[in-house]
Amino acid sequence: MADRYLSFTGTAPGRFLTRRLGLPQPAALRRWSPRSPALDGGLLHLTAGPSALDLAPVLARTGPAGGDERPAAVVLDATGVRDVDSLAGVHAALHPVVRSVAESGRVLVLGAPLDPADHHQSAAQQALEGFTRSLGKEIGRGRTVNLLRLGDAPAAESTLRFLLSPRSAYVSGQVIHVGTGPVAGPGDWDRPLAGRTALVTGAARGIGEAVAETLARDGAQVVVLDVPAAEADARRVAERLGGSALALDISAADAGERIAAALPGGLDVLVHNAGITRDRRLVNMPAERWSSVLEVNLGSVLRTTDALLARGTLRAGGRIVATASIAGLAGNAGQTNYGAGKAGIVGLVHSLAPRALADHGITVNAVAPGFIETRMTAAIPLFIREAGRRMNSLAQGGLPADVAETTAWLAHPASGAVNGQVVRVCGQSLLGA
């Protein structure tokens, strides 16, 4: 369903009226397209204190390269901030330039990992999180603000490419950690998944369909999995993408074994997207509504992942991306079952990520969507739907493509240093933020 309020605020009368009434003034977001793959404008690289990182080479490859006097992106290297006094450098660097950032531009703060042996450094670096999230809530005009903690510039290239591009239009107020170590870039950054096989569950429609489309765009051979009742839709999606369809109930006890049998050549990317809702307040919720949601949204993810890892179906260097939700991070009335299942995904990621990387060379991450414009949210009553759209720093709902682009970044072969992360795709929702 079209966001008519967003369209209205893009007109001169709409801007005037909403400004006079103090209403939200969302800006149309700049998203990736083949004709517009990069932000318009240049990149401004600033520092707050000394830095041990040589960022110039990787920023030259990843950031917008235009020469506009209004920067499309500002990167502030604050990895050298180690005490309260050096935080003044953050203000000194960004205060003069924040107004000049282009509409739908990017502000990216680079921080260092917290040093457990130095509580002054940890306090100063933690302060960057509060600063980043606060700036994201005030900067407006479709701009995003994120904090990237890193210890190795080359390992962050895929992440920098994502955060400094239109692909990250609905990701703001996030803190992302990138580890260290060698990371091999793809032969072709435009088709990084070429030669790889990806399976997306719940991919016959909605967010899952968008994820399948984006992975196929990036070169993957996509397997579109959905329940037997949606087999016709799954086949249509698969045929359009040059992939294949697999009809099965992901909550079945033998789902993992059946997937492994259908993929004798192995799998490189596993996207757990399938999910259901059975909303009702706990006092009115029958046991069946509780158990069915937990089975699909969490139980099936655990069983399938275990089976595919045990059988070696997921190849070394593979990627697991699961779908959480802000309902699992912040809670939501009427969704105790859904919130429990999605919070369980976060626990899965945090526990499995270090072991899967050590034992199999596989990363495990999650996306946590907020209000995304789908057929499901279009059925929400008007006033609740409008509240969901406006209660974030970008004052609008996201699109399935926003979740898909974030998933594709986590699935990227050069994202091997991104592990154990839960990235909210919510426009910096005010829920739990």
Q: Per residue in 98-121, pLDDT tens? A: 999 999 999 999 999 999 999 999
The pLDDT of residue 384: 79
In the CATH scheme, what architecture does the domain 31-178 have? 3-Layer(aba) Sandwich (3.40)
Whether 285 shows a pLDDT value over 80: the answer reads: yes
Q: How confident is the model at residue 196 (pLDDT cuts 50, 70, 90)?
A: very high
- Quick one: pLDDT at residue 183? 86
Residue 246: is its pLDDT beyond 90?
Answer: yes
CA distance 321 to 363: 8
pLDDT for 430: 85
170 is a catalytic site residue: no
pLDDT of residue 385: 84
Percent of the chain with pLDDT over 70: 98
In the structure, what pLDDT confidence band is assigned to residue 70 with cuts at 50, 70 and 90?
confident
Query: Could you say which of 5, 338, 371, 409 is catalytic?
Result: 338
Residue 68 — pLDDT band, cuts 50, 70, 90?
Answer: low
132 exposed, middle or buried (CB, 10 Å; 0-12, 13-18, 19+)?
Answer: buried
Query: What's the pLDDT at 134?
Result: 97
Q: How confident is the model at residue 151 (pLDDT cuts 50, 70, 90)?
A: confident
With tokens 């369809």, the residue in question is 245
Helix axes 400-411, 206-217, angle to 10 degrees: 50
Average pLDDT over residues 232-245: 98
Segment 73-92 shows an average pLDDT of 97
Average pLDDT of the chain? 94
Pairing of strands 221-226, 197-201: parallel
With a cut of 60, say whether residue 433 has pLDDT above it: no
Q: Which amino acid is at 35?
A: R
Q: What is the average per-residue pLDDT within 64-86?
A: 89
Q: What is the CATH number of domain 197-425?
A: 3.40.50.720
User: Among 162, 77, 55, 164, which Cα is nearest to 418's?
Assistant: 162
**Which tokens in the block code for residue 314?**
């997921």
Domain with CATH 3.40.50.720 in the chain: 31-178, 197-425
Task: Give mean pLDDT, residues 246-259.
Answer: 97
Mean pLDDT of 214-229: 98
State the pTM of this model. Answer: 0.96
pLDDT tens, residue by residue, 286-343 = 999 999 999 999 999 999 999 999 999 999 999 999 999 999 999 989 999 999 999 9
Helix, strand, coil: what percent of the chain each, to 5?
A: 45, 15, 40
- Predicted confidence band at 408 (pLDDT cuts at 50, 70, 90)? very high
Grade residue 4 by pLDDT with cuts at 50, 70 and 90.
Answer: confident
40 burial level (CB within 10 Å; 0-12, 13-18, 19+):
middle
Given a cut of 80, whether residue 431 has pLDDT beyond it is no
Report the distance separating Cα 262 and Cα 288, nearest Å.
31
